[in-house]
Copies of this chain bind each other. A is one copy, B any other.
Amino acid sequence: MYKLIRNEGTARRGELVTPHGTVQTPAFMNVATCGAIKGGLSALDLKELKCQVQLCNTYHLHLRPGDETVKKLGGLHRFTRWDGPILTDSGGFQVFSLAKLRNIQEEGVTFASHIDGHRIFMGPEESMRIQSNLASTIAMAFDECVENPAEYDYARKSCQRTVRWLYRCKAEMDRLNSLPDTINRKQMLWGINQGSTYEDLRIENMRQIRELDLDGYAIGGLAVGESTEEMYCIIEAVEPEMPKDKPRYLMGVGTPENILEAVKRGVDIFDCVMPSRNARHGHVFTWEGCRNLFNAKYTLDEAPLDESCDCPTCRDFSRAYIHHLFKSGEMLAMRLCVTHNIYFYNTLLERIRKSLDEGNFQEFYNNNIRKLDTRI
């Protein structure tokens, strides 16, 4: 399903064909946690913001409205009105970050809902069943995401269990895809590389999981406490072990700079809540750096958020107006900034693809790496 079109050094330009459409890579996935982008955007808005893939969270949707409800409503595509590819995470990350009182055993994890505290059990089979009910395009394997720094011994044991869980995920996904009432019987399963910040564990784990010949591979357990330098080192260590003919997804990353660095190191796909979360707090990304729209210097500034941007927000609204909306607590402030940031991220990835197509990614990297994360 993945075709590598060309390389520039380790950086890859490719495309991923799915039953819900083709994704040009490198690509950014826009995060619709509960089935909607936070900040008041709908799936239909995403279309004009160059979004290729929507990511939804299994944990949140299992709790509310419930994956069986989503199945009765025809799956996530019909429910949210997004007709392109959807990736669901496994729920694992949220079980380990949001839920309380969790208890991990070989079988899976028992935890308390962060909404009402009720006890829930989730293991590899449950995660696959939930994601099958949600009917996403791509399901992620159920893994334990260990926070960094982690003890070597704990990371090693956790990794080994995650590999055993992956085999169970694969078996359950194959079974679910063979059932007549499964909504998306072509649901893909992607594996997740773990191993904390230990290169030997990462490499061993990658070698083990690639044996399953899955449809894609993610690097998980990064951007969870380690330095960005450590993160880049781990990507560099794992990348040579990743299949060349499968898409590579760096989970939960990151800033524009992180994305440029990771593309350079061979990553194809990204997701992050940063564009929408930062926007809701008045932080917008521009080609000159980051702005904070709460800043009083924008009171009389009639320029758009980014003078070189042609997003729906920059086409019509001024910094002065958006500054006023934030100060007044108007929801429109958030919607306009989320719209801009989502468009910015998708345009960043589009320009990265173009530079790879034209063989000048390194030049693009050099021109942008210093300024994109700068505060202006």
CB distance from A118 to the nearest CB of B (A): 15
Chain B: which residue is nearest A330 at the CB level?
A: B36
Closest residue on chain B to residue A323 by CB atoms: B65
The A334-358 residues at the B interface (CB cut-off 8 A) are 334-336
- A300-B73, A324-B34 as given contacts; A81 in contact with B317, CB under 8 Å: yes
A34 CB contacts on chain B under 8 angstroms? 324-325, 328, 330
CB contacts under 8 Å to B, within A185-225, are: none
Given contacts A299-B69, A318-B73, contact A40 B40 (CB under 8 A): yes
Is A316 an interface position by the 8 A CB rule? yes
Interface string of A40-68 (1 = CB under 8 A from B): 11101000000000000000100011000
Determine the distance from Cα of A331 to Cα of B338 in the docked complex, in whole angstroms.
12
A79 interface hit (Cβ, 8 Å): yes
Render A63-92 as a binary contact track against B, CB cut-off 8 A, 1 for contact.
011000100111000011100000000000
- A37: chain B residues at CB < 8 Å are 332
Residue pair A81, B316 in contact (C-beta under 8 Å): yes
* 15 new A-B contacts at CB < 8 Å, known A38-B331, A74-B302: A34-B325, A35-B324, A37-B332, A38-B330, A40-B335, A41-B332, A42-B336, A64-B328, A73-B302, A73-B321, A79-B318, A79-B321, A81-B316, A331-B331, A335-B335
A residues in contact (CB < 8 Å) with B? 34-42, 44, 60, 64-65, 69, 72-74, 79-81, 299-300, 302, 316-318, 320-321, 323-325, 327-328, 330-332, 334-336
